[in-house]
Amino acid sequence: MNARSSSDTMIAHTPADVKRLSALRDERHIPDEDQIAAVRSLYPGFDGPLLSKCRRGQRYGIQMREDALDLLCMMFAQDAQKRPKKPRRRKPNRVSCRLSDAVFDRLQVLITASGLTVQAYLEEIILRTIINEAKGAMKNDTERAADRSRGPEAAGDGDALPDAHGADRR
């Protein structure tokens, strides 16, 4: 006679099943009541405490039947397929920073005096900086081209490049 204890005959609750069941509540935000109602269509005696025990199957020795789990995943699959919405903004990118109280107060005064919104004021400053940087790069390119056209003998001390130790090299 082959005697087995009740723990030997229990089917172990696999972590994958627990994850699928927990994902309905945690990731898809499906209320327990909706899950219970769906499983009750197959098994009329299913209730909240049984759902809780299925989620903790290793502790209670209970495993949700595969057909009930498949039904839940199938019924609520469309919720998982919803993609996050793209921002419907003309300017979807965001920039932020932290300021001290003194700097923030001064900024508020400047924005109020300009008559612009915070968005418009900061955008104007950023665009002005980008334009000035582009103009500076163009100016540097023009100066380099002029120096090249004059030849190496026209280069003065202003063209000397410091090396890593601060000494000038030509």
| Per-residue pLDDT in tens (0 to 9) along the chain, 170 residues | 444 444 443 444 456 777 778 777 887 788 889 899 999 999 999 999 999 898 888 888 888 898 998 888 888 876 545 566 677 888 888 899 999 999 999 999 999 999 999 999 999 999 999 999 988 887 777 777 777 777 655 555 444 444 444 455 44
User: Is there a domain that residue 70 lies in?
Assistant: yes
The domain containing residue 65 runs over which residues? 12-81
User: Is there a domain that residue 66 lies in?
Assistant: yes
21 and 73 assigned to the same domain: yes
60 and 116 assigned to the same domain: no
Q: How many domains does the chain have?
A: 2
What's the pLDDT at 81? 54
Name the amino acid, one letter, at 94: R
User: Is there a domain that residue 131 lies in?
Assistant: yes
Q: Quick check: 72 and 35 in contact, CB under 8 A?
A: yes
User: Is there a domain that residue 53 lies in?
Assistant: yes
